[in-house]
A and B are shown apart, each in its own frame.
Chain A
Amino acid sequence: MKSAAIARWREPSVLPGFPLALGLTLAYLGAIVVVPLAVLALKPWSLGIAGVWSALTEPRVLAALRLSFTTAALAALVDAPLGLMIGWTLTRYEFPGRRLLDALVDLPFALPTAVAGIALTALYAPNGPLGALAAKVGIKTAYSPLGVFIALLFVGLPFVVRAIQPVLEDLDQEVEEAARTLGASDLQRVWRVVLPALAPALVSGVGLAFARAVGEYGSVIFIAGNMPMRTEIAPLLIVIKLEEFDYAGAAAVGLAMVVIAFGALVAINALQARLAGHGRT
């Protein structure tokens, strides 16, 4: 008879291989994720608390963090209506080429970031087709915070579309039909029935887009222009600090990014849980 102590932490199972699979999983996760991230969490403190504080409150660092987080948030928020529109079009209408369009949504996932970065730059540079167009009306796109925003918009779009699509498809047709029989107009139906049901998925999609955008590097650095204090993103600052062999400083910025992003995600998850609690059918 197996001892009860083993049953405490795991339910007995007849399937073989648990020790091997668990051991492999833990060893791999430990070596690849846990130990490296533990070092990231510890390294900055070699500067002392005051040292970490001054490393993070350095104007250049503050400016970079501000730029990364605000443009990421802005891009994720703008992705919401765009993604909603595309997701709606893809799930609710039948038209030739719908499946092709659906596949194209994943392009930002599939295109390596460096490729996206130079392509966006070529488009939005002052001599690029779209950049020249914008320059005519006096808007600077590439090499400005707007360029960073465009790149992050590109990166985040699929997250929103893919988050809401399954919910839109699953949305009980009967509920909508019931709303219609109760005399709701099309707009009322969308506003009062569809959107609330969609809200949790939309929030989680925006959260994913934001998380990705905050850390994004490849697609941004080419279009950003990387001017200190103006268009320098936080990940780039880490690279610069590493090139100066300022490991602790780089780790401080890295840790700050992880902590702030984590805090934002916790808040987003809480919001999503609240919305999900309300919208449950």
Chain B
Amino acid sequence: MRPLVRLPGAAPLLLLSSLAVLGLLVVLPLAVVFQQAFSKGVAAYLAPLADPDALAAIRLTLLVAAIAVPLNAVFGLAAAWTIARFEFKGRTLLLTLIDLPFSISPVVSGLVWVLLFGAQGLFGALLQAWGVKIIFATTGLVLATILVTLPFVARELIPLMQDQGADEEAAALTLGAGGAAVFTRVTLPKVKWALLYGVLLCNARAMGEFGAVSVVSGHIRGLTTTLPLHIEVLYNDYDFVGAFAAATLLASLGLITLVVKTALEWRFADELAAFRRR
């Protein structure tokens, strides 16, 4: 711990104000989710979770994440290997492109898929002729989710691998290791915690994504509503207990993510890009 700076008189004031802001702005909304969900008792809390539509929404959410997250993880590894291990022209452009999804609205991230594959979209007629449905179907949900969560793994791995340098990989080569052995036995173990960290954040966002999937979903109950969309449907039906009950699931996912993420940060700080310099 660094020596503390004294700011006489101000410390308690700053601490209290920080607590107040975090409490009011951040903690209270979390608390209210659980308070509302249980406002009519445990039975009323459990009932909406056993609803077939809710179960279908949970299944769909898990399915979408199960497709989107591994794909983005593989992409993240490939992008990090390309950018952090080789010098070539256009690296900066590639980095900008990878970061791009973070700076566009999730609604726009959904919109682009409708423009491509919607009924009046670029390939709309073609898809209709083939009888393939992308928008208002699982494929669209997956595409929108992939776009929104694309940077998470790559952004975690690239700075770390740049920081670590390629000396260990070079050493492995001189010792006779082939490309696959270098990757699986040297590179992957070195970045495993960062990879887990990126996957964790990617997964949390994939399961909780709302704006992008909302645009491509069509809100067909039991078919194309993921858990966040299911919350919206219930809320708009004035089924507040049901909406908040479903919300507790996502809030718990967020909390678990936060706990694991914090644990990773404490335990493996020097193997995570964002915390290397601390």
Contacts and interface: CB of A to CB of B under 8 A. Distances in A.
Contact of A101 (B18, B98, B118): B18
Given A39-B115, A104-B22, A166 B277 contact: yes
B30 interface: yes
B198 interface: no
Contacts of B8: 186
Contact of A40 (B82, B112, B207): B112
Given A107-B26, A211-B103, A254-B107, A122 B32 contact: yes
B199 interface: no
B250 A112 contact: yes
Contacts, number: 286
A43 B122 CA distance: 9
A114 interface: yes
A17 B81 contact: yes
Contact of B25 (A35, A115, A157): A157
Interface string A219-239: 000100000000000111011
A90 B258 CA distance: 17
Given A113-B210, A215-B106, A40 B115 contact: yes
A91 to B, nearest CB: 8
Interface string B184-201: 000000000000000000
A56 to B, nearest CB: 15
A104 B26 contact: yes
Contacts of B278: 166, 169
B132 interface: no
B182 A217 contact: no
B89 A154 contact: no
Given A17-B179, A89-B18, A22 B82 contact: yes
Given A88-B14, A235-B211, A258 B108 contact: yes
B204 A110 contact: yes
A40 B107 CA distance: 12
Contacts of A132: none
Interface in B1-37: 1-8, 10-11, 14-15, 17-19, 21-22, 24-30, 32-33, 36
A216 B6 CA distance: 39
Contacts of A110: 204, 254-255, 257-258, 261
B69 interface: no
Contacts of B97: 29, 33-34
B108 A238 contact: yes
Contact of B231 (A101, A118, A154, A238): A118
Contact of A36 (B88, B115, B119, B207): B115
Contact of B208 (A24, A33, A113, A122): A113
Contact of A245 (B21, B29, B119): B119
B183 A17 contact: yes
A249 B115 CA distance: 11
Given A37-B100, A173-B3, A14 B170 contact: yes
A217 B105 contact: yes
Contacts of A123: 28-29, 32
Interface string A160-186: 000000100110010010000000001
Interface in A27-67: 28-29, 32-37, 39-40, 43
Interface string B233-251: 0010000100110010011
Contact of B250 (A16, A34, A105, A114): A114
A115 B251 contact: yes
10 contacts: A10-B86, A21-B82, A29-B94, A40-B111, A40-B112, A123-B32, A239-B107, A247-B114, A250-B114, A258-B104
Given A211-B102, A215-B105, A215-B106, 5 more contacts: A11-B86, A13-B85, A112-B204, A118-B33, A166-B278
